A and B are shown apart, each in its own frame.
Chain A
């Protein structure tokens, strides 16, 4: 079956630091990959996605590249802000499936 493993948190950073959250996956087919973000008190929001190998998803300064050879989809941001404090979830779905499989989430706190 499908599964997602992501870096354990919590992660605490200072403003303008570089952020990386590792995500690796196991899938039976050729999945689409996603990063979701959950800000305090809100629902999960789609941050970015990639649907095929070597695709790079990007949004709000975050990037992640679909690496089929290493089955990874690591999230990066070059300079974080306090407003990036949130829980980040890596997820995947098979192409023909609506079911999302999520990692456990990584809590990121950015200090001023």
Chain B
């Protein structure tokens, strides 16, 4: 029973390049969340997606960042023209049921992708 998978685990990019981070949710989960952890800080919510829909992207920077969760395949977090300030650990989580309905639904986390921008 595989958990949430993320790849790559480590990603190095030069300034101006693109970074693509992948997240495969747990089997049967159709709700995906992305969080970012900057150095010395806690994880911060970025975006919540369901299959083919972005539900809440209130935590996502307005420029250069995008996320998708297609009908088939993993969820992708894409960062265009990376800058040094994008260096962080990016965590993906998935859940079976939708959140925000008056009851907590457990989010299961992947091991994270550590992005380093040179």
Contacts and interface: CB of A to CB of B under 8 A. Distances in A.
Nearest to B3: A43
A17 interface: no
B99 A98 contact: yes
A62 B21 CA distance: 34
Interface in B61-118: 91, 93, 95, 98-102, 104-112
Interface residues of A, number: 26
Contact of B100 (A41, A89, A97): A97
A31 B60 CA distance: 23
B13 to A, nearest CB: 22
A100 interface: yes
Interface stretch (A63-71, A73-81, A102-110): A102-110
B91 A99 contact: no
Contacts, number: 64
A32 B104 CA distance: 8
A98 B105 contact: yes
A83 interface: no
Interface in A84-101: 89, 91, 93, 95-101
Interface residues on B, range: 20 to 34
A83 to B, nearest CB: 18
Q: Which of A51, A97, A100, A103 has the most CB of B within 10 A?
A: A100
A49 B104 contact: yes
B59 interface: yes
Contacts of A98: 33, 48, 56, 95, 98-100, 105, 107
Interface of B: 3-4, 6, 33, 35, 37, 40-45, 48, 56, 59, 91, 93, 95, 98-102, 104-112
9 contacts: A43-B4, A95-B104, A96-B102, A97-B100, A98-B33, A102-B35, A102-B44, A103-B42, A104-B40
Given A42-B111, A100-B45, 19 more contacts: A43-B3, A43-B4, A49-B104, A89-B43, A95-B104, A98-B33, A98-B56, A98-B95, A98-B99, A98-B105, A99-B45, A99-B59, A100-B43, A100-B107, A101-B42, A101-B44, A101-B45, A102-B42, A104-B41
